[in-house]
A = this chain, B = another copy of it.
Amino acid sequence: MVSNTVSFHKFAKRSQNQKIILAAAEKVFAEAGYAGATTQLIADVANLPKANIHYYFKTKEDLYRQVVYNIFDIWMEAASAFDTELGPREALSRYIDKKMDLARTHPYGSKVWATEIIHGAPIIQDYLEGQLLEWSQDRSKHIQRWIENGEMDSIDPAHLLYMIWSTTQHYADFGHQIETLNAGKPYSDAQWQIAKLSVKTIILKGIGLTPS
Contacts and interface: CB of A to CB of B under 8 A. Distances in A.
Interface of A: 30-36, 111, 114-115, 117-121, 125, 128-129, 132-133, 136, 153, 155-156, 158-160, 162-163, 165-167, 169-171, 173-174, 176-178, 180-182, 194-195, 198-199, 201-208
Nearest to A159: B198
A32 B194 CA distance: 36
Contacts of A165: 170, 174
Majority SS at the chain A contact face: helix
Nearest to A170: B166
Nearest to A177: B117
Contact of A181 (B31, B111, B136, B153): B136
A46 to B, nearest CB: 20
Contacts of A199: 159, 163
A162 to B, nearest CB: 6
Contacts of A163: 167, 170, 198-199, 202
Contacts of A203: 202, 206
B119 A33 contact: yes
B195 A159 contact: yes
Contacts of A169: 166
Contact of A177 (B128, B155, B207): B128
